A and B are shown apart, each in its own frame.
Chain A
Amino acid sequence: GAGVSQSPSNKVTEKGKDVELRCDPISGHTALYWYRQSLGQGLEFLIYFQGNSAPDKSGLPSDRFSAERTGGSVSTLTIQRTQQEDSAVYLCASNTRGGQVETQYFGPGTRLLVL
């Protein structure tokens, strides 16, 4: 079946603009994760969704970052008033229940460049 998909693949924006990044998890996967991959910080956890539970937002770097998951499927990561340090690859992953030993399946990522 189809894997995790993310859109857009690439996004170039100007400093101060808002951006929305989309993630479509694998069908039937109830757990969804966002990570950020940047040159300076490596791969960092951002946020986790599981079913109807409150998300774990502990990795979001500032209040400019937010995410939602509608209908338990598609997720959107929003960055408001983008800064140059937000330039990174944003990766989405999903798995069936979010258990610790479950494999997380990653999408190809969205490469964000803030000018």
Chain B
Amino acid sequence: AQSVTQPDIHITVSEGASLELRCNYSYGATPYLFWYVQSPGQGLQLLLKYFSGDTLVQGIKGFEAEFKRSQSSFNLRKPSVHWSDAAEYFCASAGGTSYGKLTFGQGTILTVHP
């Protein structure tokens, strides 16, 4: 069975600082990997996704993520955080079915200090 682990429940950064959110997956084959963001009271919005090819993927809002097979990781990064990035971030994987049922990590809450 697939699993996704986000080791950090809560991260606090200062505005303008760099950000890295960790994600590790467990799956026999190469999974399809996603990062979603959820602002309070909102649904999930896709930031980026990886399924093959270049291991560094670019997303919306200046985010990027790097797939590292050797570490079973798909960490999300942003060089300079804005106050509006404060939200909860979810890493997710799909695979093993034909239709992309998502398995989510527990989420990381990001707080941004001015």
- Does A43 make an interface contact (CB < 8 A)? yes
Query: Among the listed A3, A59, A101, A109, which residue makes an inter-chain contact with B100, where contact means beta carbons less than 8 Å apart?
Result: A101
Residues 40-57 (chain B) with a chain A CB within 8 angstroms: 41-46, 49, 51
Contacting residues, chain A, for B45 (C-beta < 8 A): 106
Query: Among the listed A31, A48, A103, A106, which residue makes an inter-chain contact with B43, where contact means beta carbons less than 8 Å apart?
Result: A106
Contacts A42-B107, A43-B90, A56-B97 given: A104-B102 contact, CB under 8 Å? yes
How many residues in A have their beta carbons less than 8 Å from beta carbons of B?
A: 27
Residues 81-96 (chain A) with a chain B CB within 8 angstroms: 91, 93, 95
Residues 23-64 (chain A) with a chain B CB within 8 angstroms: 31, 33, 35, 42-45, 48, 50, 56, 59
Contact present for A106 and B44 (CB under 8 Å)? yes
- Does B98 make an interface contact (CB < 8 A)? yes
Q: Smallest CB–CB gap between A77 and chain B, Å?
A: 15
- Does A72 make an interface contact (CB < 8 A)? no
26 A-B residue pairings within 8 Å (CB atoms): A4-B43, A33-B102, A42-B104, A42-B105, A42-B106, A42-B107, A56-B97, A56-B101, A95-B100, A98-B98, A99-B100, A100-B51, A100-B95, A100-B99, A100-B100, A101-B51, A101-B100, A102-B100, A104-B46, A104-B102, A106-B43, A106-B44, A108-B41, A108-B42, A108-B43, A109-B43
> Which A residues are closer than 8 A to B by beta carbons?
3-4, 31, 33, 35, 42-45, 48, 50, 56, 59, 91, 93, 95, 98-104, 106-109
